[in-house]
């Protein structure tokens, strides 16, 4: 290439010199031509060098382009892989979060349909004629959510049907031309397990203390409000609580002390062989700042002794006594073959009165209606004198929820499949069993039959 360019340059240089010039001054012309040729050769060398450099740069750019293209293909492949991996990780994170949420939150509830028959000889119509027997259908629905925001704290919120916000009942009678039924707050509490042996509960809570067998000294539907401290260590257990019943405020010259319920329980569970155990407990509560005040709920003493005073021109029923109640209970559990058997007994006495101050109960339960095709049957007997217990806490079905009662309760249940139970309960009671200083007849019969269809989830 270089020789071709040089020959072309020489030919061009020679053609530019007139023929006569060679004859006139040959030496000077040849020197001039040589100088021109040397200049052309330098230019050709420079061009050749520049051409070589351009070729090298072009090769380098081509290699760089190929490398960039390879990198681009790699990055595209990696991006597709990352998108797929990210999507998979997002799915796994969602699954993990869902599993984590599900492990910390539980939703439970139950629904009960009840047929009920009541015969109460203490009731009379406005004309003094004995009231007719009562027949009614009732429903109860409950829904509760419990969550564990931390490993040692549980929070619970529960709702229940109710009729008139009765603290001892979640039932709603079927009536009033299909009207909507109230669904009220039943539980709102925290349970802080601050140590392996102890926990603190605050809010509107389930009853934190232990009751022997089928005890009726406390109604099962009551959800007390306040603070409770519990402990469990080996075979020992206990609870101390401080509950608010009324909060009062007013002028300094008025009575503003809050009506409260203070109490404590201590107990133990003793193993007796491989399949038997004995539970013993002692319980004390004090109804403070209630004496001389209107009964807490619905101005009804529920047969506790009361006085009538005039408040702002209105006759008002007030409690005559305080209620400082000590109770003890025992429960023995064992097996008859494969069937559970429990027998229990309890007694209580109000320390603030000297008469009509004692309550006691006994009973047994054979079997346990819990799993598929299981059943249970039991009998209990109870006697509660007029001022032995604060009557607004006792079972609302036995003798209609009034003190000064005695009688039997017969129970039976069958579970055809798990979470579905059929119950039958019959109360054969007497009201006003030892009623004094009134014109009502004593030993008045009170009968109550309940047939329940229960489903829980």
Six token digits for residue 6: 């040089």
What average pLDDT does the segment 33-56 reach? 77
- Rank 324-328, 336-340, 368-372 by mean pLDDT and report only the highest: 324-328
Residue 324 has pLDDT above 90, yes or no: yes
**CATH code for residues 121-456:** 2.40.160
Check residue 22 and give its pLDDT: 44
Average pLDDT, the chain: 88
Which residues share a beta bridge with 351?
A: none
Question: pLDDT for 223-248, tens place per residue?
Answer: 999 999 999 999 999 999 999 999 88
Q: Are 114 and 171 in contact (CB under 8 A)?
A: yes
Residue 38 has pLDDT above 50, yes or no: yes
Which residues share a beta bridge with 185?
A: 159
Six token digits for residue 226: 């306040």
Label residue 84 by pLDDT band (50, 70, 90).
confident
φ, ψ of residue 309 to 5 degrees: the values are: -125, 165
What average pLDDT does the segment 40-53 reach? 77
What lies within 8 Å, CB to CB, of 204 at 6+ separation is: 185, 186, 187, 188, 189, 223, 224, 225
Check residue 313 and give its pLDDT: 80
DSSP string over 259-291: EEEEEEEEEEEEE-SSS-EEEEEEEEEEEET-T
In this predicted model, which residue has the larger pLDDT, 439 or 306?
A: 306
Question: pLDDT for 356-366, tens place per residue?
Answer: 999 999 999 99
In this predicted model, which residue has the larger pLDDT, 405 or 40?
A: 405
Residue 417 has pLDDT above 50, yes or no: yes
In this predicted model, which residue has the larger pLDDT, 127 or 444?
A: 444
What average pLDDT does the segment 62-73 reach? 74
How far from 321 is each of 167, 243, 281, 309, CA to CA, in Å?
22, 19, 26, 15
In this predicted model, which residue has the larger pLDDT, 56 or 135?
A: 135
Q: CA nearest 269: which of 330, 200, 327, 328?
A: 330
**Three-class secondary structure of residue 349 per DSSP:** strand
In this predicted model, which residue has the larger pLDDT, 85 or 415?
A: 415
What average pLDDT does the segment 440-457 reach? 89
Where are the chain's structural domains?
2-86, 121-456
Label residue 95 by pLDDT band (50, 70, 90).
low
E strand segments, 71-182: 105-120, 134-150, 153-161, 172-173
Check residue 202 and give its pLDDT: 98
Question: pLDDT for 273-322, tens place per residue?
Answer: 889 999 999 999 999 999 988 877 887 889 999 998 887 788 888 999 99
**Three-class secondary structure of residue 227 per DSSP:** strand
Check residue 21 and give its pLDDT: 46
Label residue 194 by pLDDT band (50, 70, 90).
very high
Check residue 280 and give its pLDDT: 98
Check residue 64 and give its pLDDT: 75
């Amino acid at each position: 290439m270089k020789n071709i360019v040089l020959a072309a340059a020489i030919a061009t240089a020679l053609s530019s010199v007139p023929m006569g010039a060679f004859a006139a001054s040959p030496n000077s012309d040849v020197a001039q031509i040589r100088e021109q040729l040397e200049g052309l050769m330098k230019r050709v060398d420079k061009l050749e060098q520049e051409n070589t450099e351009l070729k090298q740069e072009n090769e380098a750019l081509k290699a760089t382009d190929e490398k960039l293209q390879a990198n681009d293909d790699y990055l595209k492949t990696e991006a597709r892989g990352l998108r797929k991996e990210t999507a998979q990780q997002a799915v796994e994170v969602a699954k993990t979060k869902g599993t984590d949420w599900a492990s910390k939150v539980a939703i439970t509830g139950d629904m009960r349909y009840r047929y009920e028959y009541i015969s109460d000889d203490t009731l009379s119509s406005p004309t003094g004629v004995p009231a007719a027997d009562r027949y009614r259908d009732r429903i109860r629905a409950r829904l509760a959510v419990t969550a564990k925001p931390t490993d040692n704290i549980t929070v619970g919120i529960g709702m229940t049907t109710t009729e008139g916000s009765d603290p001892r009942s979640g039932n709603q009678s079927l009536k009033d031309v299909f009207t909507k039924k109230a669904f009220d707050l039943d539980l709102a509490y925290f349970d802080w397990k601050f140590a392996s042996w102890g926990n603190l509960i605050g809010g509107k809570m389930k009853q934190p203390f232990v009751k022997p067998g089928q005890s009726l000294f406390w109604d099962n539907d009551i959800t007390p409000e306040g603070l409770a401290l519990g402990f469990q260590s080996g075979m020992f257990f206990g609870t101390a609580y401080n509950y608010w019943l009324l909060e009062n405020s007013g002028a300094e010259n008025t009575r503003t002390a809050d009506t409260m319920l203070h109490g404590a329980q201590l107990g133990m569970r003793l193993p007796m062989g491989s399949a038997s155990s004995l539970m013993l407990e002692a319980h004390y509560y004090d109804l403070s700042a209630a004496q001389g005040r209107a009964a807490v709920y619905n101005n009804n003493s529920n047969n506790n002794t009361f006085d009538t005073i005039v408040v702002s021109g209105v006759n008002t029923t007030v409690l005559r006594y305080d209620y400082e109640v000590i109770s003890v209970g025992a429960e023995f559990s064992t097996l008859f073959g494969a069937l559970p058997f429990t027998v229990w007994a309890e007694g209580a006495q109000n320390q603030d009165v000297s008469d009509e101050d004692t309550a006691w109960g006994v009973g047994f339960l054979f079997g346990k209606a819990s799993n598929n095709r299981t059943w249970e049957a039991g009998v209990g007997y109870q006697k509660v004198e007029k001022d032995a217990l604060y009557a607004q806490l006792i079972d609302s079905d036995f003798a209609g929820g009034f003190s000064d009662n005695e009688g039997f309760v017969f129970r039976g249940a069958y579970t055809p499949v798990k979470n579905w139970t059929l119950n039958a309960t019959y109360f054969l009671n007497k009201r006003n069993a030892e009623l004094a200083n009134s014109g009502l007849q004593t030993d008045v019969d009170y009968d109550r039959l309940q047939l329940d269809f229960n489903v829980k989830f």
